[in-house]
Structure 1
C-alpha cells in the first residue's frame, strides 16, 4: 500500500494473511471485486506440477516463430513423468494485423480465429496426454518484459490498455471454460515490471507499485471468473517475476515465482541481457555467503511466507542459458529445485527443446544422448525427475 507505513515484506505478508484468514478486510480493500464468496478469499491449491514452457506463440509475428511443438514432445513428457505445460503467448501472434507497421489500439481487438485455432490444437494435444496447460500472456496489451514490438499504450497506466487486457482474458476464459480445471489454468501476465522505455531491451526496470498490480490483476480476475469461476488463475511475481506479491493475497489466485537467482548464473552471457557478453567470466556454485543453498532459502522465504498465508505457489519459469558451464548449472539448479521441492513447489523449465532445454540445448560441454534424432541432456533430465 503506497501511503501506508512500510513494514518489512515478511511482516506485511503475515499481517495481510491474518486479515484474509479472518475475512475481516474492509470492503474498501476489495475494489470492484464482485466475486462469488467461494472464490473471493480462498486461494486455490496449486499442485506440485513439473514440466516445461513451450514457445510456439512466444514471438509477436508468426512469420518469425520458432519450430512447432510435435505430439512426440508431449508423449515423451508424459512417459518421463512430467505433467505441466506452460504456453507463454505474445498476443499479437493471434491477431489479424499487418506486422510491418506499429499496431493501433483498435487492432488489439482483431482476433484471428485461424491463429487462435493453432493455440487450441496445442492445448488439445497436451491435454490428450494428460498434461495440464497454463495459458500465459507473455506479451499482454500494453506490456511485455521484452522489447521487439511497439505497444500502443501502457498496461499499468492506461485504462484503454487494461480494458483490452481484460477483453483478451475473457475471450480465453470463454474458449476454455468447458475444459476441466484439472487440464487448464490462466496465468495473467508474464513478469510484471515498470519500464522506462518498453522498446529499450536494456532499459531500467523496477517493481510495479503493489496496488497498481492489484488493480490490473483484480480487473482481469473478475472478468475471467465471470465466465470460468472455478478455474485456477496464476499471477506472476512482481519485478520480473522475482518478488512475492502480498497485495494479491485476497484475490484468491496462485502466484508464480522464478528460478533464476542468482541471475549471473541462470543468464550467463545471455545476449538479450548483456550488451557485450564476451568478457564475462564463468560463474561458480556455491560461491561464498548468499551464493549457496542457504542464500537460496533466504531469497525464497517471502514465497514460503505466501504459502503460510494460504497462497498456492508454483515456479513458472526456471533454468539456465547454455553458456553456463554444465557442472555449475547442475550444482546450482539442484539446489534451486531442492529448496522449492521441500516446500511442495513445482516448476516449469524455460523450454524443453532449445537453449535452456533438455533437448538440443547447444551446450558444448555435454555428452548428449541420441533420442529419436534429438540431442538429449540425460543428466539434466534425471535431475528434473529426481525432485
Structure 2
C-alpha cells in the first residue's frame, strides 16, 4: 500500500537529540556538542534530512522571552543543512506544560498553557519563516499524550490555524495521540483540505527489544535475553526472577517478526491513504543494550517495510543510547550500513 506523493520529499534521516532538547548542556559545551562537521558527516554517509528536537525550556526563558543563544544555534543548524543539501524538521519536543513521560500535563486543561504553545509557534515562525518551505518543515509537538484524543485534535486544529495565518504553505508534521502510536492513528483528526501536512508515527515495537534495559522504562530491571525475530521474551527466561520483574515482562512473551511489525503499520497506512497525505516515521530505533545481531535484524526488517510503503524516516538518534555514532563520536558502521547501504 503506497502512500501519497511526498509534499516534503525525505527518505532517510536521524534525530539530533540531547542538544537543544533533553539536555542540561549550555554555553560552549552545548555549542560544541553538534557542529557543522556533524552535518557534513551525516550528509556524507547518506542521510537526506535531520529532525531537530527543541525544548521550550532551552529556547524560551520562564517569562516567555526567546533565548538568543539557543535560537542562534538552531538557525546555524538550519544553515548547515542548507549548505550540505539536507532538509530539516524542527520538532517542538517538550513544553513546560507537556512532557510525554510526565503524569501531569497542564497543556490539556489550562488555556494559558495552550496560548503559550501557540506563542511558541508564532515566535518560531518569526525566526524561521524566511526559510524555504521545500527545505524546512515544522513538527507541532512530539508525542502528545492526552487522556481524550479529541483534546489533541482540538489543539491541532487551533495550532494549525495559528501557523497558517503566518505561513500558509509550510509543511506541518502532525503525530497521533499517545506517543505517536500506530494504534491510535485512526483517532487523529487534521484540518481538511490542507495538503501541506505530513502524518507521523513512531515505531518502537517490540518494546522489550527496542528498550531492553533502558533505565527510564518499567522493564529496566529485566537483564535476561531478548530475541528478534521469534518470541521476544521466552516464558522460561522469566523463571526465578523477582515477582515485580516477571510481572512487568509477561505481556512481552509473544512471537514477533517482520509480518507482525507490518501489521502495526496497517492503521497509519490506511489513514494516510484515506486523507491523501504523506506518511512519515519520526522516530524508530533500538537501544544499544539489546543484542547486536537481533538489533540489526530488527533495523533491517523495519527499514525494508518503510521502503516498501514509501515511508520516510528518522532514526532515534544521532548521539545517544540508540546512536549511529558512539560516545567518542566514532561511526557505528554496522548500523550505518544496515540503514543506508
Which band: TM-score by shorter chain?
Answer: 0.7 to 0.9
Question: Which residue number in structure 2 is paired with residue 266 of structure 1?
Answer: 210
Q: CA deviation at 1:114?
A: 3.1
Aligned length: 307
Equivalent position SS for 1:213: helix
Question: What TM-score do you get using the length of structure 1 for normalisation?
Answer: 0.74
Q: CA deviation at 1:249?
A: 4.0
Question: Which residue number in structure 2 is paired with residue 293 of structure 1?
Answer: 258
1:331 aligns with 2:297: yes
Matches within 5 A, 1:230-379: 230-243=169-182, 244-251=185-192, 252=194, 253-274=197-218, 277-288=220-231, 290-309=255-274, 310-360=276-326, 374-379=329-334
Equivalent position SS for 1:375: coil
Question: Which residue number in structure 1 is paired with residue 99 of structure 2?
Answer: 144
Runs of 4+ aligned structure 1 residues displaced above 6 Å come to none
Question: Which residue number in structure 1 is paired with residue 241 of structure 2?
Answer: none
Question: Which residue number in structure 2 is paired with residue 384 of structure 1?
Answer: 339
Q: 2:49 aligns with which of 59, 84, 104?
A: 84
CA distance in 1, matches of 2:56, 2:305: 34
Does the 8 Å CA contact 1:214/1:248 hold for their aligned counterparts?
A: yes
Does the 8 Å CA contact 2:268/2:279 hold for their aligned counterparts?
A: yes
**Superimposed CA distance per residue, residues 182-232 of structure 1 (whole angstroms, 9 cap, x where no aligned partner):** 2111001111113xxxxxxxxxxxxx4232111111111111111111010
Q: CA deviation at 1:81?
A: 1.9
1:59 aligns with 2:22: yes
Judged with a 3 Å threshold, the aligned counterparts in structure 2 of structure 1 residues 374 and 93 are, in CA distance, closer, same or farther, namely closer
Question: What TM-score do you get using the length of structure 2 for normalisation?
Answer: 0.83
RMSD, aligned CA: 2.4
Q: 2:7 aligns with which of 37, 42, 45?
A: 45
Question: Which residue number in structure 1 is paired with residue 236 of structure 2?
Answer: none
Q: CA deviation at 1:176?
A: 1.3
Judged with a 3 Å threshold, the aligned counterparts in structure 2 of structure 1 residues 299 and 250 are, in CA distance, closer, same or farther, namely same
Judged with a 3 Å threshold, the aligned counterparts in structure 2 of structure 1 residues 44 and 383 are, in CA distance, closer, same or farther, namely closer
Q: CA deviation at 1:44?
A: 7.0
Q: CA deviation at 1:307?
A: 2.5
- Which is further off, 57-66 or 238-247? 57-66
Q: CA deviation at 1:112?
A: 2.0
Q: CA deviation at 1:46?
A: 4.1
Q: CA deviation at 1:62?
A: 4.4
Q: CA deviation at 1:60?
A: 6.3
Does the 8 Å CA contact 2:228/2:297 hold for their aligned counterparts?
A: yes
Q: CA deviation at 1:91?
A: 0.6
**Superimposed CA distance per residue, residues 339-361 of structure 1 (whole angstroms, 9 cap, x where no aligned partner):** 12111001111121232111106
Does the 8 Å CA contact 1:52/1:86 hold for their aligned counterparts?
A: yes
Structure 2 alignment gaps of length 5 or more: 232-253
